[in-house]
Amino acid sequence: MKSGMKDLLHTSDLSKSDIELLLDTAAKFAKKPLAAKKHLSKKTVAIYMTKSSTRTRLASETAVAHLGGSPIFLRGDDLQIGRGETIADTAKIISGFCDALIVRTYAQSDVDELGKHATIPVINALTDDDHPTQLLADWITIRENFGKDISGRKFVYLGDGNNMATAWLIMGATMGAHVVVATPSGKWAPKDAVVKQAIAIANKSGGKVEVLTDPEAAAKDASVLYTDVWMSMGDSESDRAEKIAALSPFAVTDKLMSLTKKDSIFMHCLPAHRGEEVAASVIDGTKSVIWRQAFHRRTTIQALLYHLTRGDLTGN
């Protein structure tokens, strides 16, 4: 294996050339899922999840199988971490049995520590702070709709300034795009450090980063409106009423979609709550590309496994 980037722990780990390579390979795997069906032959990939999942689990296990490997699914209570075994020791044990590790969990620090101590590629398939694999699926979907030339286009995320908002800003900035996050001010806005990081990346890539509090201004002439659920796993139920009240003006409605470009699309990482963060008429309407996004969770995770295990990615 080449001595390239070992892990994908943060969206910011990827360079633009890495993303381009992954998107190109994912597009090939979309057309020919078994194009590299022997790549992981006689090899295993651990899929460790302490957060429940539909798309990530299905996509990860299918991606491993399409590469010829055997997925080993592990729930949080399947391991000894809950009984005091360290994350470092766990990483070393998994490295002795498997050829890659996909992790979906709460704490970003847990994923970082797994990456530090594992000798195999570790892929962040979601934490409370970041969601790089989702953004790869989003960007190949964007590319299928608009092509590689994104000049004059604005890509807008509305709602909670959560892990999706972080990944949206960072990958969009890396790709040199005009990315917008529209959220309420205060505790549901994206973290200041994330915004500063995205702006610094955009200053080098030629992109543009905006953080707004006016959903209509954000939606005006947008090519993409994107949202996520307002209450994520791990959010305190005591915040529900206050949070939903604050986020309600940012719901993606037909009125908001009418402000966008004629060829605009609606995106959502799913699961969705119709009538809350998005109107049913929007998510089930002609501009919605949510099922294609979900499909591409497999193609992009497959591309990640293929290139990380080959050492093809350079990283930042």
> pLDDT class for 237, splitting at 50, 70, 90?
confident
- From the candidates 55, 143, 269, 296, give the one annotated as an active-site residue: 269
> pLDDT class for 76, splitting at 50, 70, 90?
confident
Phi and psi at 304, nearest 5°, equal -60, -50
Establish whether 228 is a catalytic residue.
yes
Average pLDDT over residues 230-238: 76
The torsion defined by the Cα of 234, 280, 191 and 295, in degrees rounded to 10, comes to: 80
Establish whether 134 is a catalytic residue.
yes
Q: What is the pLDDT of residue 90?
A: 97
The side-by-side arrangement of strands in the sheet containing 224-227 is 208-212, 178-182, 154-158, 224-227, 265-268
Q: Which CATH number fits domain 11-130+295-308: 3.30.565.10, 3.30.1010.10, 3.40.50.1370, 3.20.20.140?
A: 3.40.50.1370
Establish whether 178 is a catalytic residue.
no
Establish whether 128 is a catalytic residue.
no
Q: What is the pLDDT of residue 240?
A: 85
Establish whether 221 is a catalytic residue.
no
Average pLDDT over residues 49-70: 97
Residue ranges per structural domain of the chain: 11-130+295-308, 135-290
Can you identify the CATH homologous superfamily of domain 135-290?
Answer: Aspartate/ornithine carbamoyltransferase (3.40.50.1370)
pLDDT tens figures, 145-170: 999 999 999 999 999 999 999 999 99
Q: What is the pLDDT of residue 37?
A: 98
pLDDT tens figures, 24-55: 999 999 999 999 999 999 999 999 999 999 99
CA 196 to chain CA centroid, Å, is: 20
Q: What is the pLDDT of residue 232?
A: 74
Q: What is the mean pLDDT of the chain?
A: 96
Q: What is the pLDDT of residue 233?
A: 64
Distance CA 261, CA 254 (A): 13
Is residue 235 over pLDDT 90? no
- From the candidates 55, 57, 66, 131, give the one annotated as an active-site residue: 131
Query: 181: which strand partners?
Result: 157, 211
> pLDDT class for 1, splitting at 50, 70, 90?
low
Q: What angle do CA 246, 138, 204 make, to 5 degrees?
A: 90
Average pLDDT over residues 283-308: 98
Domains 11-130+295-308 and 135-290 share a fold: yes
Q: Contact 296/30 with Cβ under 8 angstroms?
A: yes
Establish whether 99 is a catalytic residue.
no
Amino acid at 231: M
Is residue 21 over pLDDT 70? yes
- From the candidates 296, 297, 298, 307, give the one annotated as an active-site residue: 297
Distance CA 163, CA 166 (A): 5
- From the candidates 228, 268, 293, 298, give the one annotated as an active-site residue: 228
pLDDT tens figures, 113-140: 999 999 999 999 999 999 999 999 999 9
pLDDT tens figures, 195-223: 999 999 999 999 999 999 999 999 999 99
- From the candidates 104, 143, 268, 296, give the one annotated as an active-site residue: 104
